[in-house]
């Protein structure tokens, strides 16, 4: 309980809500409700295959036996719908749980705001135990000036998938670069199949993931090396010109401008989409007998000869609202060591970030996943590309209205590439201060 009081005092001292009289009143109002000392809370998003994942996670956490004085843990599933609202209101009122998974850039925002505790101590203890087998670069991606913002647990890596039977029907081989991508797309178009499936609707980020992947593919991105906004550059313009060609040739479906992630998944299932970016577990959405029809291809080269894609590291963060930081760390350490069941049971759709999990026999047999890890993961970057490490403002860029309008303008295909990027730059400048 001492920990709670201490962190509470620290929060108040920091002038959490500003200095005006009303804000001071708010701070008094914002006292957290007393915590039941017996257990700490773990919030978990609905990852992977949904209900199946949640059941597995609940079962896993249910089996946690805290050692020594550490507190037990209570599992709480959190729906994705309006997640930013859930987390920001909890943080503003200090009713966040002890540990939580969440969207990729949330920890970077929260650590800047002093809401979460850095994971440095936990990483030190994992190092000490000699069990640090995180894949290269993954932990570094969590590092900020204030310490490690969170622990990575899996990676949403975007790779190009094709449906083998549809390519065969169109009489083409998988593309190797942008030029051949267009050729394959045109062939698919002839048999009424979409060559770049994506969901561009305003309530999903799928389309933004695809476009980000292609921007990075061409060595571009929305941010410069010093972390400032840099939407309008030659590489990005080239990428948008490429996308515009896809739109004009009907390789991108105009209906995609309003697609939800459900709409696009269903088009994959029905065979309307033959090619496109997806999570490494895209095949898990299909009935077992059709899964072998899907294949991950090797990274495609842009005209400049570059390769690249986008990834999102799924984080587990520790909030300062915990009843005991030691308990949070003990649980999180245990969870990271035991979460392999998600891949064993096939309920995870993302790439594991620990070698011990990536080497599981069941994953070794998964050729698509192995190809993704071997060929795609090393060339991945976050949407903060080309910036060296992620930062809090990315949280607003990922999934905001500006990004949605950007994708929809691309799919609409009526505006020049440079102008689309200028509009995006102007909109993001208001958000990223």
Partner 1 sequence: MTGLALPAIVLMVVVNAYPVIYAGIQAVHDGDLLGLGNFVGFANFQDALTDPLFWRSARFTVIFSLCGVFGSWIIGFALALMLKPDFAGKNLFKILLLLPWIVPIVVSSMSWNWLTATPGSLLPMLAADLGFGRVMFLADPTMAMITVCIFKIWISYPFMMMMMSAALEGIEPNINEAARVDGANARQRLRYIVLPMTARSTYISWILMAMFSVNDFATIYLLTGGGPVNSTTSLIVLAYRSVFQDFRPGFGVAISFLMTAALVTMSVILLRQMRKANMQ
Partner 2 sequence: MSTTATRPRKLALDPRRAGMGRTLATAIVTLVMLGPILVVFWLALRPRLYTDITGPTLETFVYIFAETDILLWLKNSAMVSTLATIISVIVAAPAGYVLSRGRGGAVSAYSLFIFVLQSFPVVVFVIPLFIMFASVGLVDSLSGVAIIYVASSVAVACWMMSAYFDTIPVTLEEAAWIDGCSVFGGFVRIVLRNSLPGVLSTAIYAFLLAWNDYLVALVFLRSDDRFTLPIGLQTFFQQNQTDWGPVMACAVVMLTPPVLIFALLNRFFSIGGIGGALAGK
Binding flag, residue 298, partner 2 (CB under 8 A)? no
* Segment 330 to 359, residues that bind partner 2, using CB under 8 A: 349
- Cα–Cα distances (Å) from 16 to 74, 83, 392, 402, in that order, read 28, 22, 17, 29
Residue appearing with tokens 């045109």: 186
Task: CB nearer to partner 2: give 265 or 302.
Answer: 265
Quote the CA–CA distance of 268 and 275 in Å, as a whole number. 9
CA atoms lying within 13 Å on the CB side of residue 384: 23
Binding flag, residue 31, partner 2 (CB under 8 A)? yes
* Segment 193 to 212, residues that bind partner 2, using CB under 8 A: 206
Residue 212 three-state SS: helix
Which of 12, 88, 144, 202 is close enough to bind partner 2 by CB under 8 A?
88
Which of 32, 271, 346, 388 is close enough to bind partner 2 by CB under 8 A?
32
**Please, are residues 44 and 75 in contact by the beta-carbon 8 Å criterion?**
yes
Cβ-proximal residues to 80 (8 Å cutoff; 6+ apart), any chain: 45, 46
Query: What is residue 155's DSSP assignment?
Result: E
Quote the CA–CA distance of 362 and 411 in Å, as a whole number. 38
Binding flag, residue 425, partner 1 (CB under 8 A)? no
- Cα–Cα distances (Å) from 288 to 127, 185, 284, 410, in that order, read 39, 26, 8, 35
Neighbours of 112 (CB within 10 A): 17
Which of 125, 176, 285, 423 is close enough to bind partner 2 by CB under 8 A?
285
Task: CB nearer to partner 2: give 119 or 383.
Answer: 383
Task: CB nearer to partner 2: give 133 or 262.
Answer: 262
* Closest approach of partner 1 to the CB of residue 121, in Å: 24
Which of 266, 272, 345, 389 is close enough to bind partner 2 by CB under 8 A?
266
* Closest approach of partner 1 to the CB of residue 149, in Å: 15
Which of 31, 76, 82, 356 is close enough to bind partner 1 by CB under 8 A?
82
* Segment 50 to 79, residues that bind partner 2, using CB under 8 A: 50-51, 54, 76-79
Q: Kindly determine how many residues on this chain lie close enough to bind partner 2 according to the rule CB under 8 A.
A: 40
Q: Tell me the CA end-to-end span of the chain in Å, nearest whole number.
A: 37
Structure token pair of residue 94: 């200090």
**Please, are residues 231 and 211 in contact by the beta-carbon 8 Å criterion?**
no
* Closest approach of partner 1 to the CB of residue 344, in Å: 33
Structure token pair of residue 296: 């991950």
Binding residues for partner 2 (CB under 8 A): 26, 28-33, 46-51, 54, 76-82, 85-86, 88-90, 92-95, 206, 261-262, 264-266, 279, 285, 287, 349
Binding residues for partner 1 (CB under 8 A): 16-18, 20, 22-23, 26, 29, 82, 84-85, 88, 91-92, 109, 113, 115, 200-203, 253-260, 263, 266-267, 270, 272, 395-396, 399-402, 404-405, 408-409, 411-412, 430-431
């Amino acid at each position: 309980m001492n920990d709670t009081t201490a962190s509470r005092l620290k929060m108040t001292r920091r002038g959490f809500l500003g200095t005006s009289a009303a804000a001071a009143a708010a701070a008094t109002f914002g006292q957290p409700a007393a915590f039941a000392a017996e257990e700490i809370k773990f919030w978990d998003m609905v990852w992977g295959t949904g209900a199946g994942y949640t059941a597995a996670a609940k079962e896993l956490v249910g089996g946690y036996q805290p050692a020594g004085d550490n507190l037990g843990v209570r599992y709480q599933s959190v729906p994705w719908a309006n997640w930013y609202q859930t987390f920001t209101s909890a943080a503003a009122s200090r009713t966040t749980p002890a540990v939580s998974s969440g969207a990729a850039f949330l920890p970077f925002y929260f650590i800047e705001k002093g809401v979460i505790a850095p994971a440095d101590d936990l990483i030190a203890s994992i190092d000490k135990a000699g069990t640090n087998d995180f894949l290269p670069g993954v932990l570094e991606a969590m590092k900020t000036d204030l310490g490690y913002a969170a622990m990575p647990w899996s990676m949403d890596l975007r790779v190009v998938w094709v449906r083998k039977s549809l390519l065969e029907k169109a009489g083409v081989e998988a593309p190797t670069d942008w030029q051949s991508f267009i050729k394959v797309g045109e062939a698919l178009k002839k048999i009424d199949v979409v060559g770049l499936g994506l969901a561009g609707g305003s309530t999903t980020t799928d389309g933004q993931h695809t476009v980000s992947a292609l921007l990075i593919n061409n060595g571009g991105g929305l941010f410069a090396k010093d972390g400032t906004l840099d939407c309008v550059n030659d590489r990005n313009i080239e990428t948008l010109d490429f996308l515009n060609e896809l739109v004009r040739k009907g390789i991108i479906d105009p209906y995609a401008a309003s697609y939800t992630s459900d709409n696009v998944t269903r088009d994959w299932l029905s065979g309307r989409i033959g090619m496109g970016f997806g999570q490494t577990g895209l095949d898990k959405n299909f009935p077992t007998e059709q899964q072998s029809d899907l294949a991950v291809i090797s990274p495609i080269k842009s005209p400049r000869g570059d390769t690249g894609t986008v990834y999102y590291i799924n984080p587990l963060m520790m909030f300062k609202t915990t009843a005991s930081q030691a308990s949070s760390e003990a649980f999180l350490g245990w969870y990271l060591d035991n979460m392999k069941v998600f891949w064993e049971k096939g309920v995870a759709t993302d790439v594991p970030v620990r070698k011990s999990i990536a080497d599981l026999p069941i994953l070794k047999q998964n050729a698509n996943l192995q190809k993704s890890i071997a060929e795609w993961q090393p060339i991945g970057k976050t949407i903060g590309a080309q910036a060296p490490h992620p930062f809090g403002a990315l949280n607003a860029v990922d999934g905001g209205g500006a990004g949605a309008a950007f994708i929809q303008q691309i799919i609409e295909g009526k505006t020049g590439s440079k102008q689309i990027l200028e509009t995006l730059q102007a909109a993001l400048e208001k958000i990223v201060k």
